[in-house]
Structure 1
Amino acid sequence: MAATQRKELTEFQRGEIIGAWKCDFSIRKISEILKHSKSTVHEVIAAYKEGFETLPSRSEASPITIKRYLHKNNIYGRVGAKKPFVNAANKMKRLKWVKQKVKWINEWENIIWSDESKFEVFGGDGKRYVWRTPQEKYNLKCLIPTFKSGQESVMIWGCFVKNKLGPLVKLEGKITANIYVKEILEKHLLPFINNLEDKENYIFQEDNAPIHTANIAKKWKEDNNIASLPWPAQSPDLNPIENLWDELERKVRNHRPLPKNQDDLWKILQEEWLNLDEKIYKNLVDSISRRVAAVIENKGDPTKY
């Protein structure tokens, strides 16, 4: 006797299975309620987990059919969100750091946030697309890891506190620790700190770039009584100046006329930096407690910030 061919499930039936599973029903319960075998329910869920969603059989899956099924499941092609790669050791360091700061509230207002960044005159956006739901933008499986590159660019250094922007400095050529101390810390950071009210209460934040951690830089900060905030590696999502750079880049992209060369770009950067809305950087500092909580929730993995 010939074996009976199992009937292909309809789109609606597969959607019912996935919907019940997403509502935390067990495979046994789904099988019981929807009158499908447990093996069938398991196969549909397994296919969904592997990224096939509730697609029909291969013979039916034309590109148009696939697109329709993906859209029905609220999945669309979107640019993959980029986040720096974080290795296992640094995940643990991030977790340790945020747990030590979890009760900080007003303390964040006394941090001088700093960083270097690059802004390109021309170039592609490097966008790569992923399939995801709107809620999965920062799901690890939907992220595009980013790594540092050496593309030609205008490099800048800047800093700010909750209620005040600091200087914006153009960096030219190779920046050594000695140049960092003399041209940035000495000429720009120190005057900024000296103009802050209750300056002795402020703590300077910088990442772990070699020029920041070099002995000459450490000694200069000690000699000038500038306290430093220890910083976990691979943690740009904890530094609100990264979001300020994003805002600055948006303003530069919307600026008319567009920059034609590096000199134009530098002029526009200075202009737009001074025009940043104070509410933006105040809100960014107010977000630090939420960033800390997000790192804890993600167990050290990158967050949406």
Structure 2
Amino acid sequence: MHLVPASLRQRALGMVQGGMGTADVARAIHRNVPTVRRLRQRYRETGSTADRPLSGRPRVTSPVRNQPRTTREELVNNLKRAGTTVSKVTVGNTLRRHGLKSCMARKVPLLKPAHVKARLKFANDHLDDPEESWEKVMWSDETKIELFGHNSTNRVWRKKNDEYHPKNTIPTVKHGGGSIMLWGCFSAHGTGRLHCIKERMTGAMYCEIFPQSIEDGSRLGLPT
């Protein structure tokens, strides 16, 4: 728990005591579920969320590998409690020497285990499909764009090409205030028209849009 600032620990504790689930609390404070469980267990045993004394000099890179969102200031405080005083510049240089760079966390769709399993199955089923077969496929999807939202960013320490590792991403869901819904399609030959959906997408609305997408498919060189 020494990687979680005191203010964040108190916030998490308040959520737990308020009846919020462990997974929801973990997402809210951008930490993993075991961290929240340890915080709850420590409070039950000691009545406090304060850190236990650290023994030995911790490695700078160890906490970052487990918690990529750890800040340089948190690492400096961690080392200070263990009896080692270093600057944030020194911590940053050490991490970079180990191939770790501070980058903005990538936002990815929040997928349930069933979604991950289905996507992996689809990829494996079509792994050996010839390139020509994909030229006959038209892809479509819809997305909600928030007109009013948070522009805050989160940074993580990661190595090159690790931007989509689960630890280095921020799961997102489609919700919020003012927004517009867009629907579109594309193929290997280009993009189709973009439709603005003013109401909730229904089967009837999809049937109305689909003939137009067929026309787009013909224009994009797909069989109709």
Shift of 1:63: 4.1
Aligned mates of 1:82, 1:142 — CA distance in 2: 9
Change (3 A) 1:133 1:159: same
Shift of 1:80: 0.6
Q: Is residue 2:93 matched to residue 1:80? A: no
TM-score (norm 2): 0.56
**How much identity, in percent, do the aligned residues show?**
26
**Which of 60, 81, 91 is the aligned partner of 1:66?**
91
Q: Is residue 2:190 matched to residue 1:177? A: no
Structure 1 residues without counterparts, runs of 5 or longer: 1-42, 201-305
Aligned residue for 1:60, secondary structure, equals: coil
Change (3 A) 1:63 1:181: farther
- Give 2:214's aligned residue: 190
Shift of 1:109: 0.7
Aligned residue for 2:108, secondary structure, equals: strand
Paired residues, number: 156
Change (3 A) 1:90 1:196: closer
RMSD of aligned residue pairs (Cα, Å)? 3.3
- Give 2:172's aligned residue: 146
Aligned mates of 1:144, 1:52 — CA distance in 2: 16
Shift of 1:59: 2.2
Aligned residue for 2:121, secondary structure, equals: helix
Aligned mates of 2:116, 2:219 — CA distance in 1: 37
Change (3 A) 1:99 1:171: same
One-letter code aligned to 2:144 = K
Change (3 A) 1:99 1:44: farther
CA offsets 1:99-120 (integer angstroms, 9 cap, x no match): 1101112111111111112345
TM-score (norm 1): 0.43
CA offsets 1:44-98 (integer angstroms, 9 cap, x no match): 9987444379996732244424333223333332211112233333332222211
- Give 2:10's aligned residue: none
Q: Does the 8 Å CA contact 2:145/2:180 hold for their aligned counterparts?
A: yes
Structure 2 residues without counterparts, runs of 5 or longer: 1-55, 67-74
- Give 1:51's aligned residue: 64
- Give 1:127's aligned residue: 153
Superposed, 1:186-265 pairs within 5 Å as 186=211, 188-195=212-219, 197=221, 199-200=223-224
Bigger Cα Rg: 1
Name which structure has the greater RCO, CA cutoff 8 Å, separation 6+.
1
Aligned residue for 1:110, secondary structure, equals: coil
CA offsets 1:155-207 (integer angstroms, 9 cap, x no match): 2211122113211111112332212222x113x2133235455624xxxxxxx
One-letter code aligned to 2:105 = G
Change (3 A) 1:197 1:47: closer
Change (3 A) 1:124 1:91: closer
